[in-house]
Each structure stands twice: as structure tokens, then as C-alpha cells.
Structure 1
Amino acid sequence: MIAPIFAVCAGSPRVRALLGSDPLRVYPFGMQDDAVVYPYAVWQNVTGAPENYLAQRPDADAFTLQVDAYADTVDEVIAVAAALRDAIEPHAHITRWGGQEKDPETKRYRYSFDVDWIVKR
């Protein structure tokens, strides 16, 4: 009932090089701690549903996730988003390149995208 985004990202040497490995700074939305270390990424389920059939139980679940990368510089946030993209695309489909912005309060940069993921049960 959860897309394997953390495991997929943790398996990428490029993601680990940018986002660390102990801990890997890829968090479910709202789970990063107060001592924020940049860069990092968060993800959240936007929608999710089982693949329902009339004659049998579902054999897969479909998810739409929003992924947001945060970093100190534009170049760094783009590098993190590209590393996440390259790790995720062999397993799921990126369906939207979202907003890129500088947070007025933190002065950090954000890059957002959506992923559609079908997970076999």
C-alpha cells in the first residue's frame, strides 16, 4: 500500500552521493526533522487505488506521488531532481514536472514533480 520510492532511491549511488546514506535524506512528507540538512527530498501520496477487477482481488495498487527536492542553489536542486528522476524512471512514470521556486522565508530552492507508480502485490 506504499510505493517503494525510498528503496528505489536508496539503491541509486547518485542519489546517495547527493542526499547522503546515513540517513538518506528522502523523507515521507512531514517526517524530516527540525535540524534540516540540505539538500533533501520529500514525497507524499497524492492519490492511490487498487487495480480492481470483477472476477478477482486486485493484484496491484496504483499511486500518484508528489516528489519535492530542496537545496541551497538552483544547480544543486536540479542535480537532485535529475538523480531522483534517473533512479525512479526504470520503475515508474514521471507524469508532471511541477513548480520550481525559491522559498521567500528559507531562501532555499524547490523542484517538484509527480510520479505514477504501479506496485504489484
Structure 2
Amino acid sequence: MYAPIFAVCAADPAVTALLGSSPLRIYPFGEAPEGVPKPYMVWQTIGGSPENYLAHRADIDGFGLQIDVYGLCVTQTRDVAKVIRNAIELKATITRWGGDSHDPKTKTYRYSFDVDWLVPR
């Protein structure tokens, strides 16, 4: 009932090279520990539905995910977003580039994008 984003990213050497492996700094939205080293990624489900049929039970669940990457500078944040894109792009479809933002108070950079993911049951 969930998109396998963590497992797919954890299996990709380019992702673990930038986000570590123990722990891998990928968290469900709102679960990143305070003070976690940057860069890191959070994700959240923003929509979805089962592929329903009249004749039988759904055999695929569709999920819309928002992915947010946080880093110390624009280049670092974009580099992490690229490796995450490359890791999941063969499993999911990117549907929106959310773009860059910067929080001057925390000096944190963010890049956001959305994906649609079909997960066989």
C-alpha cells in the first residue's frame, strides 16, 4: 500500500554515495530528525488510487509522491535531486518539476518534484 521509494533509492549506489547508507538520509515527510546532516530527502504521498475493475479486485495501486531534497547549496541540492530522479525514473513517472527555493533563516536550499508510481499488488 506504499510506493517503494526507500527501497529503490537504497539499492542505488549513486544515491547512497550522496545520502549515506547507515543511515540513509531519506525520510517520510515530517520524520527527518532535527539537525540531520544535509543533504537529505523527504517524501510524502500526495494522492493516488487503486486501479479498480468491475470484474475483479484491483491489481495495481497508483501513488502520487512529492519529493523534496534539502542541501547546503544549490549545486549539492540539484545533484542529489538528479541522482534520485535517475534512481526512480525507470520505476515511476515524473509529473512535475517544483523547482528551487532557499530559506534565508536556516540557509537551506530545497528542490522539489512529483512522481506518479504504479505498484503491482
**Normalising to structure 2: TM-score of the pair?**
0.98
Deviations 1:25-67 (Å, cap 9, x if unpaired)? 0100011111321000000000021110011000010000000
Q: Displacement, 1:104?
A: 2.4
After the TM superposition, which of the residue ranges 51-60 and 96-105 deviates more from structure 2?
Answer: 96-105
Q: Which runs of 5+ in 1 are unaligned?
A: none
Is 1:51 equivalent to 2:51 in the alignment?
yes
Q: Please list, as runs of the form range in 1=range in 2, the aligned pairs for 1:75-90 lying within 5 A after superposition.
A: 75-90=75-90
Q: Displacement, 1:89?
A: 0.3
| Matched residue, 2:103 | 103
Poorly superposed stretches of 4+, deviation over 4 Å:
none
| Matched residue, 2:73 | 73
Residue identity (%):
60
**Normalising to structure 1: TM-score of the pair?**
0.98
Separation (CA, whole Å) in 1 of partners of 2:33 and 2:68? 16
Separation (CA, whole Å) in 2 of partners of 1:29 and 1:110? 14
Q: What amino acid is the match of 1:102?
A: H
Paired residues, number: 121
